[in-house]
Structure 1
Amino acid sequence: MTTSAPQAVRVRAPGKINVSLKVGPLRADGYHAVASVYLAVSLFEEVTASAAAQPGITVRVDAGGPLRIPADGIPLGPDNLVARAAAALAGHAGIQDPAVDLVITKHVPVAGGMGGGSADAAAALLACNELWGTGLSAADLALLGAGLGADVPFALAGGAAVGLGVGDELTPVAAAAPLHWVLVAADTGLSTPAVYRRLDALRTSSGAGTEEPETADPAVLAALTAGNAAALAGVIHNDLQPAALSLAPALDNVLQRGKELGALAGIVSGSGPTLAFLAADADAAARLQDALRAEGHNALAVYGPAAGAEPADPAAPADHT
C-alpha cells in the first residue's frame, strides 16, 4: 500500500528575541560580525503549502493574529522569503516547474526585529519539504536556510542558541526553564539595514572603537540556562538599541513605562522596533500585558524558549501559543 502525497502542509515557526546582541564594526564586505543570544518565543508564524494545479510559486498573506500586524507592504512576488525558500528547495531537489500555493499567517510583527521573515522562510522550507517528499534532513534545510538569511537556521531549530559570524553559526543553549516576556509591537517597522547604518554613524561620531565579538556574555548564558529572570534582567544588552531609539525616539518612553508598570527589564528586540519586557513569572507577564494594553499599547505576553519549525495540525485553528 502506498501513501499518497499530502495536498497541503501547515508548518509553524517561532519569532525570536535577542536577549544579548553584540555587534562588531562594519567589515569590508558590508556586513557586521555579531555575538547574539537568541531565544525563540511562543509567537509563531504559520505557512501553509498547498499543491497548485498550474506551475508556479504563489504567495498570499493572512494577517489575523493576536497582535495588530499591518500586512501592507509585504511583497507577494518572487522576492518574498517564502517564495525564495520554495524556489531554493525546488532547485536543490531538482524539481522542475514547482507548483505550490503558499499562505502566510502573520503573527510576528513585520520589520519588527523578531525575525518574522526568517520564520516564514523556515516554515516554508519545512512545509515544501513535506509536501514534495524531498526528504531533506534538518541539517540540509539549515544550510539552505542560511543562504536565505542569517536568522533562518535558528527559526528552524528554535529553543535558545548563541549565534556567531553573521548570526548563522549556531551553538544550542540548554535553557529548559521558561522565561516570561511581554512584547510591544509598534505601528510601523524599522529597516534593519537602516538601523545598522545608524549604529555605524553613531560610533563614528562618538569616536568609540569596537572589536569583533567572539563570544556571548557568560552571565547571560548562565541566567538563561538557569531560567533566572532576576539575574537575566541585569545583563540583557543590545548594541543596536541606541541606533533604533535614535530612529524611533518614542520607543524610549515605552521602555521606561514598561519598567514603571513592573517589568524587570526592557530591551529593543534585534533591530527593533518591537520591545521585549522581561517579567518575573507568567502571572507578572499577564499583569504587565493588561496594564500596557490599558494604556493603548499593542502588547502580548509570551514565553521562551519555544520549539523551532514544526508541522501544525491542519485541522486545528491557527494559534500563536
Structure 2
Amino acid sequence: MSGATASTFQVHVRAPGKINVFFEVGAVESDGYHDVASAYQALSLYEDVWAEHSDGFSIEVAGSVDVAGVPLDESNLAVRAARLLASTTGYSGGVHLTIHKAVPVAGGMGGGSADAAGALVACDALWGTGLAMSELHELAAELGADVPFSLLGGTAIGTGRGDELSPALARGRFEWVLVSNSRGLSTPAVYQALDEYRAQRVLDISPAPRAPMVPPGVMQALRAGDPDMLALHVSNDLQVAALALRPDLAEILELGERSGALAGFVSGSGPTLAFLARDEASALDLQVTLSAAGCDALRAHGPVPGARVSTDPTPRR
C-alpha cells in the first residue's frame, strides 16, 4: 500500500457506495443463504475514513446523511475490519477511526461495507502491515459479501454470495439519481419476504433451476456506455419483496419514471431507489423534480474507483 507508513499520524481513505444495476437471486440453500448474480457499479457517493494510532479500538461517526442507527461499538463493521486485520497480521496496537458518511444508512448501497473496506485500507497503510490487495480481498470476504467490491470499485460482476468478483469493462459515465429514505429495510427480512413470495407463487416465479447469471444485454450496455440500452436490462429480484414491505416506495418509482428517468428500481435490498438518467442535465432535472416532491434526492455518477488512500491531508477530529 502506498500513501502512508506506520509512523504517519493519520491516514485518509475514500470508499464508494454502490448500486446493483442487475441482481438475480437463486433459490434459498440449505444454510439459509442464496447464490446471486449481480452487476455492481461504484458511485460517487463516498464514505471518508480517517485512521490514527491508538492503544485500543474506537470509532466516531458523522455525516451528511442520518447516522443515528450506526453502531459505535465492536459490532461496527469498520471496527471489525480493523480488528480482523490486526489479528491476521499480528499487529499489537489499535486504531481510532473517524468516519464521515455520505452513503445512505441501511439503504442497500453498501455504506457499511464501504466503511469496512476503508478501514482495511487505512489501517494497512497506517500500521505498515503491507498486505497485497489479494490478501485484503480475502479479509474483506470474511466481513461481508459487498466488502470486496468496495475495495475493487469500478464495475464488476459478482457471483456466488456476491463476493466472487470479475471486473467488467464499462465505458463512459452513467448518471444516477438516488432517493434515500429514513426508514431502513432489513436485508434478511427482504430475502425472507422474497422466499415467501416465491413459495406462494411457485408455479409462476420460482427461481430457474440454474446458477444465477448476469445476462449478455447488461454486459453489452455497460461496455457500450449506453444508458438507453442499460435501461432495458436493469432488474432486481429483491424489488418485489422490498415493495411488499414498503409499498410507499412504488409511488416514488412511478414519479421518477414519469419525470424523465430511463429506469427506476430498488437498490439492493432497499429502501434506496435508483434512477438512471440519460445525461447530467437530465439527472439534474430529475433531482429537482423529486426534491420538489419532498424526496431526499442525490445525484451521483459511476463507475468510480474502489477504496483508496486519499492525498487530501486534511485531518478529522
Q: Same fold (TM over 0.5)?
A: yes
The answer to whether the aligner puts 1:194 opposite 2:189 as a matched pair is: yes
Q: What residue number does 1:82 align with?
A: 78
Matched residue type, 2:121:
L
The alpha carbon displacement at 1:316 in A equals 4.8
Distance (Å, rounded) in 1 between the aligned partners of 2:74 and 2:192 = 26
Counterpart for residue 61 of structure 2? 61
Structure 2 residue aligned with 1:209: 206
Q: Runs of 5+ in structure 2 lacking a partner?
A: none
Match for 1:221 among 219, 222, 226?
A: 219
Q: Distance in 2 between matches of 1:50 and 1:292?
A: 40
Cα distance per residue 1:40-99 (max 9 Å; x no partner)? 1110111111112xx210011012x2xxx2211211111100010000000111112x22
SS at match of 1:147: helix
Residue type matched to 2:178 in 1?
L
2:159 matched to 1:161? no
Partner of 1:40: 42
Map 1:1-321 to 2 at 5 A.
5-52=7-54, 55-63=55-63, 65=64, 69-96=65-92, 98-207=93-202, 208-211=205-208, 212-316=210-314
The number of residues matched between the two structures is 309
Residues 23 and 213 of structure 1 are in contact (CA less than 8 Å); yes or no, is this contact kept in structure 2? no
C-alpha contact (below 8 Å) 2:253/2:265 kept by paired residues: yes
Aligned amino acid, residue 56 of structure 1:
G
The farther-off stretch of 81-90 and 290-299 is 290-299
Structure 1 regions of 5+ residues with no counterpart? none
Q: Deviations over 1:198-238 (max 9, x none)?
A: 00010011123213434211101100111100011111000
Are the counterparts in 1 of residues 24 and 212 from structure 2 also a CA contact under 8 Å? Answer: no
CA RMSD of the aligned region, Å?
1.3
CA deviations 1:226-275 (Å, max 9, x no partner) are 11000111110000000000111110000000011110110100000000
CA deviation vs aligned residue, 1:186-207 (integer Å, no higher than 9, x gap)? 1111110010000001001112
Distance 2:120 2:315 in 1: 21
Distance 1:161 1:4, change over 3 A: closer
Letter in 2 for 1:127: A
The alpha-carbon deviation at position 287 of structure 1 amounts to 1.1
Give the direction of change, closer, same or farther, for the CA distance of 1:154–1:288 in structure 2 (3 Å limit): same
- Please report the TM-score for the alignment, with normalisation by the length of structure 1: 0.94
1: CA distance, partners of 2:215 / 2:46? 27
Deviations 1:152-191 (A, max 9, x none): 1100010000000000000110113111010000111111
CA–CA separation in structure 2 for the residues paired with 1:262 and 1:171: 32
CA distance, structure 1, for counterparts of residue 103 and residue 135 of structure 2 = 25
C-alpha displacement of 1:126:
0.1
TM-score for the superposition, normalised by structure 2 = 0.95
Segment drifting more, 70-79 vs 218-227: 70-79
Q: Which aligned runs of 4 or more in structure 1 are off by greater than 2 angstroms?
A: 211-215, 313-318
Give the Å deviation of 1:117: 0.6
Identity of aligned residues (%): 51
